[in-house]
Structure 1
Amino acid sequence: MINQPGPGQSQWIEPTYSDSYYERPLAMVEEDAPYEWSILPAGMVYKSYLTGQKESRLSAQLIKITDDNSMLDGNLGGRFGVLRYGRDSSFLSDGIQWDVEGSAHVRLDIPEDVDVRSVDFRAGTQLTWSYADNPRHRSRFGYYHLSSHLGDEFLLKNPGYDRLNYAHDLLIFGHSYYFTTKLRVYGEVGWAFYHLVADPWEFQFGVEWAPNERTGPWGEPFLAVGTHLRQEVNFGGSFVVQTGWAWVGDIPGRTLRMGLHYHNGDSTQNSFYNNFEQQIGFGIWYDF
């Protein structure tokens, strides 16, 4: 806003502020561009949960597990848009989008010659959408398969270990609400129509404060807290806190993070689903 000066007065211009320091309400990032069809869109409509230990992403977590060894938990995967009817935004994309995902979640036992202790595989697809009348609300509905496997080195060193054929195929529905462009709460329910060892139901919910728009080279802080509850452990599960620094580049929502990681609850490797783990460590994550 510019006020026109009167006689003998100087012009006054209302100041503007950098997005790196001031959170903007979501209404300020709505775009006027029409919805269009896009093949292989770069952006995401629904962002993965930052503390979701089984989300498909690229990550490495160096952790110490109480009463166990130091481990390197790696996640090799990602989630990618195939087709979208919508539009790009300086925030997350708007519209309806079809995504596919896949990942391998591997645990390396550092003191034991960096042996592969176990690995979980996830593959799936999901439909994600924002609401045209209120883009603060975003949802996803999809399917994913997850199966767990013990490492060859672990089985050779533990020949009497009882191997579990943990697997399930789930339908999921998740919903997020953004109070600002950085602050969201979410909840998700999953139901397995096929399951071995695992039981049908699981629930996730949490809160995140993290950048979703371009941050520049200096980045911004983030904090994420989440809980994952599973029926096979009597609706216990895991409680996770992550905090540190985050960067967003030219593609809104795709985030590079590094910082501290804390987990308390049942094992994040489902071959050991009924084992209690308290993890403390450092992680690097690239989220989709």
Structure 2
Amino acid sequence: MHRLIFTILTLVVIAPAVRAVDDSDISGDELFGDVQWVSVEGDPESPLLFHQAKHRLDLASVDCDRICRQATGATVRSDTLRCDNDRREYQVLPDGLMWRSYLAGPQEPRIGTVIQYDADDNIYCDASLGGRVGLLRYGTLGSKNPRGWQWDLEGGVITRLNVRESEDVDSMDYRIGTLITRSEGDWRFKFGYFHISSHVGDEYIERNPTFERVNYVTESAIWGVGYVPSESVRLYGEFAYAFSVSGGAQPVQIQTGAEYTPPAKSVTRGAPFAAINLNFREAVGYDVSSTAQIGWGFQSLESGRRMRFGLQCGAGPTSQYEFFERREEYIGIGSWFDY
């Protein structure tokens, strides 16, 4: 069997490294000592050969970012140190997202759990199970700061368990939607549709036989814009208008917020994060529901996925729409996995 060896010198390290040296105390000789050879071996008849080569190049790109971060003390934005080119093409089931879920958004699709204690001496566990994935992209390759257009699918369920009542299910909100997202430079955009329907747990009805369930449902169009002035900061706002409502829901919902996520010096060490989300809904007279988080997170340099641990506090109308007219104030601890 003939074997083919692709040997690729990662010269892409050199150009950003030169810029990095200008702003650091590291000598060029010391930095360029990290230039590596990347090899891919395989059968030239194999359809996976070029996929393997691309994968190794993606890994080299991650190493490029790491070297530049070390040279600059992680003070230079990664998008100015990009190792990939700006070639754009159609991709089915692409890696990465152009619009990520809000860190402090309680109704965002993710995997997470928050155990919270409220002002009425209740203890709840709000558990989320869901996520967001890309279906089709026209844009740059890879998951690191992709640019272009992307079509996403999202979905999840947000469940409230009553810890003092043997973790009975009090309520749950189901969310499913689809988005067209765009990323260029410092700006992010989204447009799409999402459905929310709220339900009450059987155990809650058994404990409260006089409770009258509301069929809170919205079918909404949504527009959003995000601004990312640096690798550490994101500001965002969105407007949703429901063209079909029931159960006390009203058409307008507005969200805005800010996030601070400084890059970690290594994946294993992690880095702090802080986020705030403000939610205004016509159904509650635009009374603001605020959620704030602070903690420590670990983020993959390649995929951008993040695991976080921290504190969460909130005040205002509840995020559980089955009880949308209730107000709550709480503090809790949580863990979140973000796509």
1:163 and 1:75 map into 2 onto residues whose CA distance is 22
* Aligned partners of 1:92 and 1:252 also within 8 Å: no
Residue equivalent to 1:210: 261
More moved, 206-215 vs 234-243: 206-215
Question: Structure 1 residue 189 and structure 2 residue 239: aligned?
Answer: yes
1:19 and 1:90 map into 2 onto residues whose CA distance is 23
Which entry has the higher C-alpha Rg, 1 or 2?
2
- 1:132-211 paired onto structure 2 within 5 Å: 135-196=185-246, 197-211=248-262
Q: How many equivalent residue pairs?
A: 277
Residue equivalent to 1:47: 100
CA deviation after TM superposition for structure 1 residue 12, in Å: 5.0
- 1:68-79 paired onto structure 2 within 5 Å: 68-79=121-132
Residue equivalent to 1:123: 176
1:21 and 1:276 map into 2 onto residues whose CA distance is 45
- 1:47-126 paired onto structure 2 within 5 Å: 47-88=100-141, 91-126=144-179
- Superposed CA deviations along residues 207-251 of structure 1, whole A, max 9, x for unmatched, are 101157894111111010110110111111311110111111154
State the superposition RMSD in angstroms: 2.2
Q: In structure 2, what residue type is equivalent to 1:126?
A: L
* Aligned partners of 1:221 and 1:243 also within 8 Å: yes
Q: Helix, strand or coil for the counterpart of 1:18?
A: helix
Q: In structure 2, what residue type is equivalent to 1:286?
A: F
1:265 and 1:21 map into 2 onto residues whose CA distance is 40
CA deviation after TM superposition for structure 1 residue 17, in Å: 4.5
- Superposed CA deviations along residues 170-212 of structure 1, whole A, max 9, x for unmatched, are 1111111111112111111000000111110011111101157
- 1:222-233 paired onto structure 2 within 5 Å: 222-233=273-284
Q: Helix, strand or coil for the counterpart of 1:49?
A: coil
- Name stretches of at least 5 consecutive residues in structure 1 with no aligned partner: 3-10
More moved, 81-90 vs 269-278: 81-90
Residue equivalent to 2:77: 25
2:295 and 2:243 map into 1 onto residues whose CA distance is 37
Question: Structure 1 residue 280 and structure 2 residue 324: aligned?
Answer: no
- Name stretches of at least 5 consecutive residues in structure 2 with no aligned partner: 1-17, 20-25, 32-67
Q: Helix, strand or coil for the counterpart of 2:311?
A: strand
When residues 258 and 194 of structure 1 are mapped into structure 2, their CA distance, relative to the original with a 3 A threshold, is same
When residues 211 and 254 of structure 1 are mapped into structure 2, their CA distance, relative to the original with a 3 A threshold, is farther
Q: In structure 1, what residue type is equivalent to 2:214?
A: L
Residue equivalent to 2:318: 267
> Taking structure 1 as the reference length, what is the TM-score of the superposition?
0.90
* Aligned partners of 1:72 and 1:109 also within 8 Å: yes
Q: Helix, strand or coil for the counterpart of 1:232?
A: helix
Q: In structure 1, what residue type is equivalent to 2:239?
A: V
Q: Helix, strand or coil for the counterpart of 1:111?
A: helix
2:235 and 2:253 map into 1 onto residues whose CA distance is 18
* Aligned partners of 2:69 and 2:76 also within 8 Å: no
When residues 141 and 213 of structure 1 are mapped into structure 2, their CA distance, relative to the original with a 3 A threshold, is farther
> Taking structure 2 as the reference length, what is the TM-score of the superposition?
0.77
* Aligned partners of 2:143 and 2:303 also within 8 Å: yes
Q: In structure 1, what residue type is equivalent to 2:195?
A: H
Aligned-pair identity (%):
35
CA deviation after TM superposition for structure 1 residue 89, in Å: 5.3
Q: Helix, strand or coil for the counterpart of 2:206?
A: helix
Question: Structure 1 residue 253 and structure 2 residue 304: aligned?
Answer: yes
Q: Helix, strand or coil for the counterpart of 2:136?
A: strand
CA deviation after TM superposition for structure 1 residue 253, in Å: 2.9
CA deviation after TM superposition for structure 1 residue 37, in Å: 1.5
* Aligned partners of 2:162 and 2:168 also within 8 Å: yes
Comparing both chains, which one has the higher relative contact order based on Cα–Cα distances under 8 Å and sequence gaps of 6 or more?
A: 1
